[in-house]
Structure 1
Amino acid sequence: MSNLKLKLKKIDPVKYALITGTALAGVTFVIAAFFTLIGSLFGAAMGEFGPFAAIAGSGIVMLIVGPILYFIFGFIFGLIGAFLLNFILSKTDGLIIDFEKIGESDDLSMIGRGE
């Protein structure tokens, strides 16, 4: 197998920010759903005035608002991070990435097309 060296010169900040925001929103939704379920179970077992009853009610709100907030903050910080990475890549002449060729095709025309 032969090695293929490519140099990363720039990434699309908006696409990177969308990926970061979406990933954070998805993880937040799963975690909020888990804690809402657990809080609801313990809240129901402890009665109407149990400490987990308040968590169960606010868990539904967090289940809705949490992913939205985490997407917004993930997008903003992902955008800032991508701009910072692009700045550093421009000052250091890129980042060399070493790939291993495992297929028979020599066609590299699909790289960078986003398909």
Structure 2
Amino acid sequence: MAKLKRIGVLSLAKLQAVLMAFVGLIAGISYAIMGATFASLAGSAGLGAGLGFLAIIIFPILYAIFGFIGGAIEAFLYNLVAGWVGGIEMDFEQQV
């Protein structure tokens, strides 16, 4: 049985930033579709399309920034707590 005693703070922060940027892109596309749909129903399609396009650009950037910060905090806290309780026990199977 192996134990995960430490996580690289920068490593997890980068991984979390990339994952959250992808989630932000999906959220931005969803926001753009819904915004354009509701704006066209209300009669102001230009505003809805503009805000939707902006969401596709801004959401992934914001999600990545907050994902990076969150990942760094998670790794730091894991390393702190793992020092007290000994880390996570994992069982690996080696392929031959």
Q: Give the TM-score band, short-chain normalised.
A: 0.7 to 0.9
Q: Which residue of 2 aligns with 1:92?
A: 85
AA at the equivalent of 1:64 = I
In the alignment, which of 63, 77, 81 is matched to residue 70 of structure 1? 63
Q: Which has the larger radius of gyration?
A: 1
| Higher-helix-fraction structure | 2
Matches within 5 A, 1:46-61: 46-48=42-44, 54-61=47-54
Q: Does 1:11 align with 2:11?
A: no
Residue correspondences, number: 96
Q: Which runs of 5+ in 2 are unaligned?
A: none
Q: Which runs of 5+ in 1 are unaligned?
A: 106-115
Matches within 5 A, 1:6-45: 6-45=2-41
Overall identity of the aligned pairs, in %:
33
Q: Please report the RMSD computed on the Cα atoms of aligned residues, expressed in angstroms.
A: 2.0
Tell me the TM-score normalised to structure 2 length. Answer: 0.83
